[in-house]
Amino acid sequence: MATVNKNLSVYDKATIPNANGLRFGIVVSEWNSEITEGLCSGAFKALLDCGAQESDIIRWNVPGSFELIFGSKKMINSHKLDAVIAIGSVIQGETKHFDFVCEATAQGIKDLNITTNVPVIFCVLTDNNMQQAIDRSGGKHGNKGTEAAIAAIKMAVLGS
Ligand code: INI
């Protein structure tokens, strides 16, 4: 597995574009909120650390990961943004629900990247159990929210 013994949130600031003046949206799913709050906090801190202003970051909550698609679309249509980070945590249960939510959310966010002019970063953990989610939202494998923020900055300035 790619993340074994790997901390995902280490970045070299010298290689990241300055985010001062860029505007970001963060859409956060309320499902497994102890995980999504950790991811959001990692993303927020990394954006600020790379130069973004707190007043240039908008956060909205949505009920579940499936709603990240509409939430991100509506945010793009109502604010002038350079990138959006969609944050969710889906954890495998006993039924096929996990597969449908993961598939639809990934496809929906992919569709937004094709149809709108604002990059939407996929920061949705899809884990087999809660421990895997804890390990990736500020635990032993770092914080995928941090990684998403760096991706958002890079995509916001792509081609400029
Ligand atoms: N949504 C999640 O974000 N994570 C989950 O683990 C989850 N599970 O397990 O069901 C989940 N379901 C809700 C789904 O995202 C929608 O909110 C719901 O289907 C209403 O559209």
Going from the C-alpha of 15 to that of each of 9, 18, 50, 95, 154, the distances in angstroms are: 14, 9, 10, 43, 10
CATH of the domain at 126: 3.40.50.960
Q: Report pLDDT for 5.
A: 55
Catalytic member of 6, 13, 97, 140 = 97
Nearest CA to ligand 1 atom 19: 66
CA angle 92, 96, 101 (to 5 degrees): 70
pTM of the model: 0.95
Chain position carrying tokens 């990059």: 119
Number of domains in the chain: 1
Domain residues for 82? Answer: 20-52+65-156
Stated as kind and residue range, the H or E segment containing 135 is helix 130-135
pLDDT digits 0-9 by tens, 80-109 = 999 999 999 999 998 999 999 999 999 999
User: From CA 34, how far away is CA 69, in angstroms rounded?
Assistant: 21
- pLDDT mean over 53-63: 98
- pLDDT mean over 2-28: 85
Per-residue pLDDT for 1 more than 60? no
Q: Tell how far the Cα of 130 is from the centroid of ligand 1, in angstroms.
A: 15
